[in-house]
Structure 1
Amino acid sequence: MSDIMTSIPFRKLLDWVLREKEEKGTIFGVRRPYEADPSETVQIFGRKLETQIGPAAGPHTQLAQNIAAAYVAGSRFFELKTVQIMDGEELSACVNKPCILAEDEGYNCEWSTELYVPQAMEEYIKAWFLLHIISKEYGLGAADGFQFNISVGYDLAGIKSEKINTFIDTMTEAKDSSIFKECMREAKLMAKRLHNVTEEDIEAIPSDICNSATISTLHGCPPQEIESIADYLLKEKGLHTFIKCNPTLLGYEFARKTMDGMGYDYMVFGDFHFKDDLQYEDAVPMLTRLMKLADEKNLEFGVKITNTFPVDVKENQLPSEEMYMSGKALFPLSISLAAKLSEEFGGKLRISYSGGADAYNIAEIVGAGIWPVTVATTLLKPGGYQRLSQMAEKLQERGVMLPFKGVDVNAVSELAVKARTDKHHVKAAKPLPSRKMKQPVPLLDCYVAPCKEGCPIHQDITAYMPLTDEGKYKEALEVIMERNPLPFITGTICAHNCMSKCTRNFYEEPVHIRDNKLKAALGGYKDVLDSLKPAEKNGKKAAVIGGGPAGMACAYYLVKAGTEVTLYEQTDSLGGVVRHVIPEFRIPSASVEKDASFLEKLGVDIQLNVKIENAQALRKQGYDAVILAVGASKPGELSLEKGGVINALEFLKEFKEKDGDVMIGKNVAVIGGGNTAMDTARAAKRTKGVEHVYLVYRRTKRYMPADEEELLMAVEDGVEFRELLSPVLLEDGKLVCKVMELSDPDESGRRSVKSIGKRTEIPADTVIAAVGEQVPSDFYQENGIQVDSRGRAKTDPETLMTSQEGIYVIGDGLCGPATVVEGMRDAMLAASDILGSSVSRGNDNPAQKSDCCEKKGILKDSKEEENQSKRCLGCDVVCENCVDVCPNRANVSIHVPGFEKDQVVHIDYMCNECGNCRSFCPYDSAPYLDKFTLFANEKDMENSKNDGFFVLDREEKKCLVRYLGETMTVNLEDESSAVTEGLRRLMTVICEDYAFYLL
């Protein structure tokens, strides 16, 4: 596979647009076109704009099809990807691939077109023609309602070179260029296929493509050089001119303080760029002079905020030493620079904007008089180009299509202040766990719901969510309880791995799955309980030892299938740690009791206050199976050089029994960083007489194992975090700790800690250790169960049966403290083995593809939409993340007869290996490397290792195919070919219905 993109001839591009629109209803994959109102326009550079937005000079304006996709979605201002004297293979050799990482804040290490400059010019002119035709043919807007803006760099000598000079002159007046003539000729030849565009319309396409330029300069470019380039473009080329400015104008201290305060303290950048780049005191007089010059030339002049913000690669984000930060983290810096310059020039300096703009802030940015606004990072996330539609619609709704009368200094200043605390821009307290499944993406049928895959019991989330929102609580709860017998417990305190995997995390926030589960449980409880009745007996008999969540779940799965179940619990009530340890303010006891009532109704024989010591004895009493769900009951240990500590679970148990009336002094230190530590600290804050609770951890919040939600609740309760401290001893009411620091990440990205040789003290009357409990090894060995070197029971990983026939171990007692839902997963495995069949049946997502596609690209958090199923993207119906996020449209979705869902194919000749699709594929894969690939020719196929094909003869349905590493010639009509039937059908449909993909 090569990262060199192949330019598509104009005739082929236009044919592609017409056929795809006619046959599939889309244009380069964009499903919802934005229809502008030609009567509502603004003017800049003496030309009209139907919206003030578009793609920034980056991956979305590199190829003609990218520009066309952006137009269809709502763009009208196109900042074409930067050209410079270095281009083609020379530039490509300097760009490490992959070069884009846009999972959260964005990073990239690419900066200008990877094509040769003449090729780039051809792409832009082809796009110019496409947009004129598309606009009228499909009624999307006026032919003069959009503008192209060239971006040139990086020094005056390069800009004056023959190559770049020719580019500028041709983009200014293209009528004599061969590509303009070719596009004109080919468009007229195809005019008979157009319904609303005539030959006269085509002949009227203007040849003066650009009358404006944006200057891009490298970091360290002296102010004299920047001014000389602007002077040249204004005087010699007569171009309206913007100068890209960097956030380095704000100064290192401001940038560092802002990033640290917003949670980006891990982001590493030195002060040398701030010292070497254009200085603010030099920028102001330079901009003043250029504004005066532009006025004299009757041209428009301004600044483009922002250019790039370089940061160091410290956690192997991209294969380079330095990368450029963008997106949500860049917004507070960019808008702060806009505010500073606006105030400096009294709002008279024109500002073109880029840097973290999206649907949430676009109306405020433009409303403050800052436009045009170009974007990149938001388009690199799921929804892709379609995100532009919502932005354009928001501008239309807010009525900001107004002539430029200056920047509203107060408005932009307020926006800059607000950005530093805006939830859409601050960094989450903790990074989300990896959203990827630990399996490769299949060549076919790859759509999955990441939420369901992330759930240890594969809860049918997409099935019960809409039922809940429709008020069908009984039906929703029945779907939930097909796999989950503890809806009240999991609806309240589940660690919700499902929400961590939700694709909505790439939009704004996850669908609130857990809340909907509890809503269904509360609404459907009585009806479901009334409908439950003991199942017909299956002749099996089982004993469950331990009435915690895992034991309760196992009893449920077994009794529901007709097994006679006895559940032994050594305390006076079911629920285990959830019932007896987790504080009442976290989960009411009544919730646990409701879950227990399902077991009672189904006929489980619940034996309370009974402690079982001998599992083998139960087996001899006639039980076919004994399930040990005894928990991790052995206290974890933390030893100080001096002074004692209290075990967290013992404290929490006493706190709950005595309703917080526990004597632990005024100052309490809690050691640990997990969920139990957070519960402990919050409970201590509610304990009588306690004034301060300090949570001590040897790393930072970012690296604490606790869920972000748990951590934030502790912060809200006033728990005082003491990070980078390792406890040593307790004496005289003080906890003495070693001061630690984070080391540089290793190859895996993990950061360990090391002491810096200093100590500090924390006031502490009591120290509570929440360092994890241990499995009851002695109990297992006493029952003849083999254990490993860590004292854990050896079990079959598929069934969880121990070395003793018919005896199983599940829950926290298996591998140590885990989540409730992981305990249920264990219960499901054991119960399925005992029953000899699955304990549940699946429920499909009822959503239609059209409904799911309507949600793509629309940012809408839970405050904007109470109905959570309306925010669900239905990824198991239509995923296509890799299709959405590819700026070059190199991943496509096609309909293959015989398949329920569409299939994804990778188009090699349109891919530059930017790697963006890897970030958003739910599998542990990169679609550009791992999906079935269409090649343009045999040579490209030879240069790749991808499984895929090249069409040798479309009419005869003959392809050269690589499958499982073997290359062969395949006749697609031969059903006995060595490839699968599914792949054969996929290649056939490409030849028959998607021939526009073939070069």
Structure 2
Amino acid sequence: MTTENSKETAKKTCPITDILESLRKQLHTEGQLPAKIRPAVARVARIVTEITLGRGSVANLEELSKAISELGAIAPSIANPVAASLKKDREEWENHIAGNLCSAGTCFLPRSAPCQVACPAHIDIPSMMARVGHGDYSESLSILAADTPLPDSCGLICPAPCEDECVQNAVSGAAVFIRPMKHVAARCADIKPDLEKAEPTGKKIAIVGCGPAGLTAAYYLAQKGHEVEIFDEREHAGGIMRYGIPNYRLPEYKLNAEIDVVKQLGVKIHLGYTVRQAREFLDKGYDATLLAIGLQNSKRLGVPGDDQDFVIGGMDFLSAVRSGKNPRVGPHVIVIGGGNAAIDVAMTAFRQGATKVQMWYRRNRKQMPANPHEVELALAEGVELVEFWAPTRIHPDKQIEFERSRYAPDAKTTPPVTVRADHIFAGIGQEADLSWLEGTKIETEWGNIVCDPVTLQTGEPGIFAGGDIAHGASTVVAAIGSGKRAAESIHSWLMGVPADYESLEPKRRDEVPFLSSTPEHRTSPKRAHIEENDPSTRKFSHDFMQKDWDEKVAAVEAERCLRCDICIGCGLCELACIEVGAEALKMVETKGGRMVFKDFTTPAEKCIGCGACTSVCPTGAIIVEDRDGYRVTEITGTVVRKQALEICSCCGETFSASAKQLQQTRDELGKMTREGILCPACARARSAESMKEMQWMAQLF
């Protein structure tokens, strides 16, 4: 039943977008529309699309009315809803055209690449990959440096939310292998980015915590001219990246190199420093403080017996290993949890003496929050996954009781089980000690510091919070994004200027030429992979577990990128192609109504080289031009059609009409070929001669 509240919270839609989606659906449903109707439907859809892109004018409404009338003559059931909307929602249509105003707020939005939007740091992924594809590694690294101080680390450990949103998922079923491209750029770059620093501002900032959020904030604040000092209680810098991520995933020397980049900006890092009170830096004369301490402590399991010596926090275990304490475990180890940290604990347990490692999780593998590839790595090393069980009690004799999870299909009929293990690890999350916030106006909620979601400022003026301690346990790249925002907010607060939050949104950092590729490869489901060391031997070593990704393989993989930074997915080209009757371009709709090419091979048979697609493309993603006697159609760097131009039978010059285009035009007009094929200039000359003959003949009558 629909309630008043549900009506109020229902997402408002744009009537113009609704019309467009309906028309697209009919065009893309195979066999729904007769061939003779499709051009008329496409024409209406094209005009509506132009309006939603902010390219509409009063003339468009007149053109649309005419197109609807023509469509109504052959398909009234399709035309009538459009005509009704044009009448009923006239004000909405006029607002779209006159002021680029959409009452639902769904039109006229930036059409950034989905991968870049999904990245918490908003890295310009298409440009970065294109540079790798061209072998311009230093330029690729410069693109990365604009949005992260930790490109190499991200290239090794990021869970790649960008790949989840890659449009290749809808096209080929296999996203472009984005994550390691960053590692290739960082590894192969000959020249490191030249980071410019603004003139000194005289402002001094203290950052508590030397993890990804703290390092990122320091990186950007230093470039803005501020004096930045980081304070951390650990022996070494890096935070979660050093003490929570195993060396076999993120080697120490790679992390050290990226921390050195931050230091070279003049950032001072004080290690072994324990903060006593959140206001202490303001009291010492610092102008602002950023709290970016992360979540250093493991959460307990929350069942009776979880405080015994053989029950160990997963993060505590990983930290002990990275600190060089070499804790030995096993032979039988049970890890409770299903996230990335739990995976790291399970794999590290083998390297610390375990011979049998099990992960007991309350849901199934498909529902695990851990990165699927990380799960595969763990299973390959021999980690056993036991699904649909939750712990209820741990006994002093090292036995742990489990009950069937309520998520299990047989939860009501399966009895509890008891299992013995030498060590039990809690891999269910992390938390922080926030006792040092006492005596301040800083509030906490669910173990996190409460701060403004936009400015990240806490209840204590001049104190900001970022990273996991502010938004909860997440990823390194999420902490990087938080650090960027914190830097912008702190700079704004210190300098008394408006914060430029727009600069944090996805932006193109470079204009990179297209990569050349074959039509077959652009939509190939064959995704590249990185070779890893043999799991039977690597499970006993803390050495880096993967081999360096060959840059030539990376370049070939980069060609699979569909360049969503340039092709904005408006679908105008496909509609124009249908409108002229060629039906050469085939697109599929992805998330958010974005259109993407699903087939680069069809144009080879159907493209007539008319140029209708390129005439409506707003970004230059499609090129149709004459090259060396051929009409070439190119989509984001891939030549999809190359057809010989016609040769004038009179002057012998080629002219801008491919044989197929000319033939189709003649077929439609019902004209027969007479006296060969003439270019426009010769045709005009021949016509002029004919007119003279006709005038001479007229004198006879």
Q: Give the TM interval when normalised to the shorter protein.
A: 0.5 to 0.7
Q: Counterpart in 1 of 2:612?
A: none
In structure 2, list runs of 5 or more residues that go unmatched: 1-17, 40-73, 76-102, 493-498, 530-551, 580-586, 596-667, 669-701
Matches within 5 A, 1:257-656: 442-444=106-108, 447-506=111-170, 507-524=172-189, 527-528=191-192, 531-532=194-195, 534-642=197-305, 644=308, 645-656=311-322
**1:63 equivalent in alignment to 2:42:** no
CA RMSD after TM alignment: 3.8
Alignment partners' CA distance in 1, 2:228 and 2:21 = 65
In the TM superposition, residue 780 of structure 1 has moved relative to its aligned partner by 2.8
Equivalent in 711, 716, 722 of residue 386 of structure 2: 722
Alignment partners' CA distance in 2, 1:791 and 1:450 = 32
In structure 2, the CA distance between the partners of 1:5 and 1:569, relative to structure 1 (3 Å rule), is: closer
Alignment partners' CA distance in 2, 1:849 and 1:446 = 24
SS at match of 2:298: coil
**1:669 equivalent in alignment to 2:334:** yes
How many residue pairs match? The answer is 471
AA aligned opposite 1:824: I
In the TM superposition, residue 756 of structure 1 has moved relative to its aligned partner by 3.7
Q: Counterpart in 2 of 1:872?
A: 561
In the TM superposition, residue 817 of structure 1 has moved relative to its aligned partner by 1.5
1:855–1:873 CA contact under 8 A, matched in 2: no
Equivalent in 786, 791, 802 of residue 443 of structure 2: 786
In the TM superposition, residue 893 of structure 1 has moved relative to its aligned partner by 5.0
Q: Counterpart in 2 of 1:737?
A: 402
AA aligned opposite 2:164: S
AA aligned opposite 1:443: C
In structure 2, the CA distance between the partners of 1:877 and 1:534, relative to structure 1 (3 Å rule), is: closer
Equivalent in 482, 486, 497 of residue 826 of structure 1: 482
AA aligned opposite 2:244: V
Alignment partners' CA distance in 1, 2:110 and 2:275 = 47
In structure 2, the CA distance between the partners of 1:653 and 1:850, relative to structure 1 (3 Å rule), is: closer
1:849–1:878 CA contact under 8 A, matched in 2: no
AA aligned opposite 2:322: K
Q: Counterpart in 1 of 2:375?
A: 711
Alignment partners' CA distance in 1, 2:460 and 2:591 = 39
In the TM superposition, residue 855 of structure 1 has moved relative to its aligned partner by 7.0
SS at match of 1:670: strand
AA aligned opposite 2:318: L
In structure 2, the CA distance between the partners of 1:847 and 1:630, relative to structure 1 (3 Å rule), is: same
Alignment partners' CA distance in 1, 2:104 and 2:356 = 49
In the TM superposition, residue 770 of structure 1 has moved relative to its aligned partner by 0.7
Alignment partners' CA distance in 2, 1:827 and 1:5 = 42
Alignment partners' CA distance in 2, 1:698 and 1:708 = 17
In the TM superposition, residue 68 of structure 1 has moved relative to its aligned partner by 9.8
Alignment partners' CA distance in 1, 2:199 and 2:235 = 29
Alignment partners' CA distance in 1, 2:128 and 2:20 = 43
2:134–2:515 CA contact under 8 A, matched in 1: no
Q: Counterpart in 2 of 1:922?
A: 591
In the TM superposition, residue 446 of structure 1 has moved relative to its aligned partner by 6.0
Matches within 5 A, 1:214-253: none
2:127–2:508 CA contact under 8 A, matched in 1: no
Alignment partners' CA distance in 1, 2:291 and 2:479 = 12
1:698–1:725 CA contact under 8 A, matched in 2: yes
1:740–1:755 CA contact under 8 A, matched in 2: no
Q: Counterpart in 1 of 2:433?
A: 776
Alignment partners' CA distance in 2, 1:647 and 1:67 = 66
SS at match of 1:831: helix
Alignment partners' CA distance in 2, 1:447 and 1:66 = 33
In structure 2, the CA distance between the partners of 1:555 and 1:807, relative to structure 1 (3 Å rule), is: same
1:775–1:791 CA contact under 8 A, matched in 2: yes
SS at match of 1:758: coil
AA aligned opposite 1:878: C
Alignment partners' CA distance in 2, 1:673 and 1:505 = 25
In structure 2, the CA distance between the partners of 1:611 and 1:534, relative to structure 1 (3 Å rule), is: farther
Normalised TM-score (structure 2): 0.61
In structure 2, the CA distance between the partners of 1:596 and 1:740, relative to structure 1 (3 Å rule), is: same
1:685–1:693 CA contact under 8 A, matched in 2: yes
1:852–1:878 CA contact under 8 A, matched in 2: no
In the TM superposition, residue 559 of structure 1 has moved relative to its aligned partner by 0.3
In the TM superposition, residue 570 of structure 1 has moved relative to its aligned partner by 1.4
SS at match of 2:392: strand
Deviations 1:425-480 (A, max 9, x none): xxxxxxxxxxxxxx988334663311000011211111111112222222111110
1:852–1:873 CA contact under 8 A, matched in 2: no
In the TM superposition, residue 694 of structure 1 has moved relative to its aligned partner by 0.5
In the TM superposition, residue 818 of structure 1 has moved relative to its aligned partner by 1.0
In the TM superposition, residue 869 of structure 1 has moved relative to its aligned partner by 2.3
In the TM superposition, residue 560 of structure 1 has moved relative to its aligned partner by 1.1
Q: Counterpart in 1 of 2:357?
A: 693
1:849–1:877 CA contact under 8 A, matched in 2: no
2:508–2:565 CA contact under 8 A, matched in 1: no
AA aligned opposite 1:667: H
Alignment partners' CA distance in 1, 2:518 and 2:490 = 39
In structure 2, the CA distance between the partners of 1:454 and 1:440, relative to structure 1 (3 Å rule), is: farther
Deviations 1:873-913 (A, max 9, x none): 01232243x85xxxxxxx87568xxxxxx9x99xxxxxxxx
**1:807 equivalent in alignment to 2:470:** no
2:314–2:425 CA contact under 8 A, matched in 1: yes
In structure 2, the CA distance between the partners of 1:532 and 1:857, relative to structure 1 (3 Å rule), is: closer
Alignment partners' CA distance in 2, 1:673 and 1:779 = 31
SS at match of 1:573: coil
Alignment partners' CA distance in 2, 1:755 and 1:799 = 48
Deviations 1:374-393 (A, max 9, x none): xxxxxxxxxxxxxxxxxxxx
In the TM superposition, residue 706 of structure 1 has moved relative to its aligned partner by 0.8
- Identity percentage of aligned residues: 29
SS at match of 2:107: coil
In the TM superposition, residue 701 of structure 1 has moved relative to its aligned partner by 0.6
Deviations 1:592-649 (A, max 9, x none): 1011011111111121222222232211333221001111134312133346321111
In the TM superposition, residue 562 of structure 1 has moved relative to its aligned partner by 1.0
Alignment partners' CA distance in 1, 2:363 and 2:450 = 33
Equivalent in 734, 752, 759 of residue 416 of structure 2: 759
AA aligned opposite 1:672: G
Deviations 1:670-698 (A, max 9, x none): 0000000000000012222x210010001
SS at match of 1:528: coil
